[in-house]
Structure formats: C-alpha cells, structure tokens
Amino acid sequence: MELNIVNIAGEDTGKKVTLNDSIFKIEPNDHAIYLDVKQYLANKRQGTHKAKERSEIAGSTKKIKRQKGTGTARAGSIKSPLFKGGGRVFGPRPRNYSFKLNKKVKQLARKSALTYKAINSNIRVLEGFNFEAPKTKEFVSLRNNLNVADKKLLLVLSEQNKNIYLSSRNLQDVKVVTVSDLATYDILNASIVLFVENSIDSLHKMFGI
C-alpha cells in the first residue's frame, strides 16, 4: 500500500511511502482489539474508591435499646448498616484493576486498528518537520493546511520532540505520541492518524519487519 507524502503546507511533495501489508492490511481481530482497549482503560483506573464498613464508623458501641420487650427487632449498634450513618454493606474497597495481556495479542490489536484506519483512508503521512519554538498557533495552522482542523488527530513521531508536543498540548482534539507509545485505544479514538515520514520505518522495526 502506497501513500503520498505531504508537507506542513498541505502540498504533495511528490514522494511516496510504502506501508507494509503485514501491518496495515491484515485480517482484523476484533476480540484482540477489545482485550487491548479493556486493558488500557483498566490500567488508567486509580482504584482508590473506598467506603467505610461498620467496623470503621466512629460512634458509640453502646446498645441503643434493650434486646427484648420493644416489639421490634434487636439492634446491637448504631453503626449497623440498617441505620442512617451506619457502615455500608459490601462497599467498594481499594483494588488494582490492571491485568496481564500477552505481547502478541497487543501487537495483533494494534495491527488490526491500523488496518481499519487504512481501509477507511484515515491514515496520512507527513514530511519530517520541526518547530523552532513551542507555538500553538503554528500547530493550528498545520491542522488547517491538512484540512483536519475539525477532526481528532493522532500525530505519530519516531522520537520525542518537545516543541511539537508543547505546541499541541493546549489543543483538545490533538494527541502526539511516539511509535513506542502507540496504543490501540489512541488509534481507534482518532479520526485521522498522521505519521511523520521517518516514523513509518520505526513502526516497521517495532513489529520486527
């Protein structure tokens, strides 16, 4: 699969890049995508939710009434979940939501997500560029030139670039990642996946191609 390379002005450079079919043209595996996205979202959960049970409630331990002769059920503590202000029954406890997922499953998920983007022509390749200083205005101009100002954009770099990252940080619908940090969730969440030219080679190396 070949794509034209454009520059930051949105003009065709006349160069082309070949996308490897073993990454961008496989039989998508929806279950692998589901598992990878599930793990990604689970790992982002803090798991710090906590409710007090009856043993953790501050209050008197004195019986609130005599055991017999009242005509109602026995009540041994004001901390009982049956009373207002009492402890909670089986409330949430701090826990870790993360789980293990095999490396090959994660690779299959990313390839499947990239294949879906390629099928829908939502992958573009941009000529290598850099900003002299962090300027959000320049990144906005870049989006306008590429006609993606109204779409969620995922920009994939081969390595970290502080100026490009800081220029895009204030834009709500833009995310900048390196190839090594590329996640299935980010690919699916973006309307357009924009690869910088040299990041394609890094992507091929990451998948051992």
Q: Could you please report the per-residue DSSP string of 120-163?
A: TT-EEEE-----SS--HHHHHHHHHHTT-TTS-EEEEESS--HH
Name 152's Cβ contacts closer than 8 Å, sequence gap at least 6.
173, 174, 189, 190, 191, 192
What is the residue type of 123?
I
Q: Is the pLDDT of residue 100 over 90?
A: yes
| Distance (Å, whole) CA 177 – CA 154 | 8
Q: Is the pLDDT of residue 149 over 80?
A: yes
Q: What is the mean pLDDT of the chain?
A: 92
Q: In which band, very low, low, confident or very high, does the pLDDT at 13 lie, cut at 50, 70 and 90?
A: confident
Q: Is the pLDDT of residue 183 over 90?
A: yes
CATH architecture of 2-45+98-206: 3-Layer(aba) Sandwich (3.40)
What pLDDT was estimated at residue 185?
A: 96
Q: Where are the domains of the chain?
A: 2-45+98-206, 48-96
Residue 53 burial (10 A CB sphere; 0-12, 13-18, 19+): middle
Q: In which band, very low, low, confident or very high, does the pLDDT at 1 lie, cut at 50, 70 and 90?
A: confident
Pair 38, 53: CB distance under 8 Å:
no
Exposure string (b/e) for 134-144, b if CB count within 10 Å is 16 or more? beeebbbebbe
Closest CA to 164 of 142, 193, 188: 142
Tens-digit pLDDT profile for residues 20-45: 899 999 999 999 999 999 999 999 99
What pLDDT was estimated at residue 67?
A: 87
More confident: 61 or 28: 28
Backbone angles phi, psi at 179, to 5 degrees: -60, -40
Instruction: Out of 13-17, 29-33, 66-70, 204-208, give the one with best mean pLDDT.
Output: 29-33
